[in-house]
Amino acid sequence: MIAAFLPEWGFWGVDALAYTPWMIYPFVAGVLLLLFPPVHTRIGRALSSICQHSWHVAVIPLIAGALIWILPVSLHYLGDGELLLRTFRLAVDSRPWQGINAPLPYHLIDHFRMSFPAESVIRILSGLSGVLYTVIVITLGRRLFSEAADRAVLFCLLLTPAYIQLFFGYIETYALIYPVLLAYLLTGCLSLRDRCPLAVPSFLMGILIVTHFSLVVLAPSLLVLATTRWRTRMQSRLRIVIDLLISPIVSFAVLRIVGFDYSVYTEGMKTNHLLPISSTPGFAYGLFSLTHLGNVVNELLLVASTALLLLAVYPRKWLSAQPAHLYLWSAVIPALVFTFLANPEIGAFRDWDAFAFPALPFLLLGVFALQAVDEKGRLRAAVVAGGATAVHTAFWLLTNAQPSSAEARYTTLLDVSVLTPTARSYGWEAVGSVKRRQNDLEGERLAFEKAAEANPTNYRYWNTLGTVESRRSRFAEAIVYYLRALEQNPESVEAHTNVGSAYYRTKQYDLAIDHYLQAVERQPDLVGELYANLGASFLITGRTKEALGAYEQAVSRKPTLIQAYFPAGNAANRLGDRTKAHRYYSEVLRRDPGFQHADLIRKWIAEIEKSTLQGSQKRIE
């Protein structure tokens, strides 16, 4: 509730209500209901009843699919959504493997987006991952727990955390991680009971690693699993070694199948993933700063609030020498340490998604911790804690499903969060990109102004601002922005071209010529329209011969550019080259008989042909 009224404090783990004020009343009502024992008792009984009947449980994936369809992410501000879509939109062929840490989902997206829009492909992958996740909770939960109450606890804890946002059309490559990770953890628990061979979780670990390379931090849990099976004499040492080898073999096989290129991948790798001990230029904060700690807490509040609630209420229940506890702790601890150490950009909209995966083993550990509580008590605890999380998650999903509230939250946090200049400018660039697709020129201008303010050395932002002003026919303002872009990058062909066009529009033809020529000098194979503008500038300033050369370059690069043929004919006619003039004028008539100056062209051609005919007759005489 504090976060609802003080969004500027940056409590992004629990701030959904701040941007949808009308939701405060149902939120309070939902939480208050959970405080009454009769309510959660009835909910617990209803869940247990559902878990007793297979056909009742089968409805849950259908409900999950319906919710995913109804509440999709409205704007792709979270994560790297806009950047990812832009990358795929600009790519004609398959994208290279530079810096790609999620090869399997990336390959699936890259393959299918050749036939379908990239956004649709990613949204479908996101939704299917959510339905698969739900199916795995149901099917493996039934195998793991014989009692309906225990399966109800599993549902309460694993179907309510806010990381399920990844399944609601979220534009990223992380959604596939969660069903595979859940299957790995649950089959590992079954393996500890000798109800599943070690080969299965080992195989799933191999798949996990290629869904995202950072998941290699879960490898200690596989070793704990193998050690436990060996000590309890479930398997021989040789068989365990063979089963463990399945994991790397599967990873390398999948990488081979998808055509992963190791040498190209290393070219795009960051040189350093670790936070500095203290605040350092280029980083938003240091490793042991309160800001970093606050961001980690915010993330846990967002994706693992159920586990935090249960850990606070039953601290001793989590500490056990049971094999399942040791197995899950060996997954939780390395994952949490990795998140804390190796994530320099954790925040409200970047990397919370990639580093939410520790929540899943953490929540499953909570399920096993509640096994030490009596049946009635653990079911009520799961309903209260899971219900509170479900209320929070529901409003988090609603916030991101509404464009106005999603944008308000995103832009507010861009202003109040502690971010590097690069991260802040990227965030505003994402806003500007959305505004451009909405044809909101003023919104685009404001967004890119903030991007340029955050990172003034990035010439692209100044160039984009110039383009926005050009689209608004404010060419004097556009020139100022384009010149700022050239200050940051004097070699930018795009900026030289754009400022040349702006000078041309403001009738400063000598300046236009200067920048057009600089653009041509740096990149001769520019589009025909640029050469046409250059030709017009030459023609207006009396440099007719150079104008003809520019127009000839224009039509050679774009033969359909009719507006270049006519002035080319004019330039040739001024130079006395009637043969060229006749050729270009004739081409205008051939390509567009209804051209606005067609009658003048026909009259000129007729006179030239008549003059030529008379000259021929005189020579004959």
Q: Domains (ranges, CATH) in the chain? A: 2-404 (no CATH), 407-567 (1.25.40.10)
Instruction: Of 93-97, 400-404, 534-538, give the lowest mean pLDDT range.
Output: 93-97
Provide the pLDDT for residue 620.
46
Share the mean pLDDT of the chain.
89
Instruction: Of 117-131, 476-490, 534-548, give the lowest mean pLDDT range.
Output: 534-548
Mean pLDDT of 211-222: 95
Provide the pLDDT for residue 621.
45
Contact of 311 with 370, CB cutoff 8 Å: no
Provide the pLDDT for residue 269.
67
Res 22 pLDDT > 50: yes
Provide the pLDDT for residue 542.
87
Res 510 pLDDT > 50: yes
Q: Between vectors from CA 466 to CA 463 and to CA 470, what angle results, nearest 5°?
A: 140
Give the pLDDT band of residue 176 (cuts 50, 70, 90). Answer: very high
Helix (H) or strand (E) holding 573: helix 562-574
Query: Which of 360-364, 540-544, 582-586 has maximum average pLDDT?
Result: 360-364
pTM, to two decimals: 0.86
Q: Which tokens sit at 602?
A: 């026909």
- Of 140, 135, 146, the C-alpha closest to 48 is 146
Res 240 pLDDT > 80: yes
Provide the pLDDT for residue 343.
67
Question: For the chain, percent helix, then strand, then coil, each to nearest 5?
Answer: 75, 0, 25
Distance CA 149, CA 380 (A): 10
Provide the pLDDT for residue 455.
92
Res 52 pLDDT > 50: yes
Distance CA 330, CA 323 (A): 11
Report the percentage of the chain scoring pLDDT > 90. 50
φ/ψ of residue 428, rounded to 5: -70, -30
Per-residue pLDDT tens for 434-487?
A: 999 899 999 999 999 999 999 999 999 999 999 999 999 999 999 999 999 999
Mean pLDDT of 198-220: 96
Mean pLDDT of 506-516: 90
Provide the pLDDT for residue 539.
85
Give the pLDDT band of residue 272 (cuts 50, 70, 90). Answer: low
Provide the pLDDT for residue 271.
64
Mean pLDDT of 98-104: 90
Q: Between vectors from CA 426 to CA 421 and to CA 428, what angle results, nearest 5°?
A: 100
Contact of 449 with 441, CB cutoff 8 Å: no
φ/ψ of residue 439, rounded to 5: 60, 35
Res 614 pLDDT > 60: no
Provide the pLDDT for residue 355.
87
Distance CA 337, CA 367 (A): 22
Give the pLDDT band of residue 188 (cuts 50, 70, 90). Answer: very high
Query: CB neighbours (10 Å) of residue 321?
Result: 6
Res 617 pLDDT > 70: no
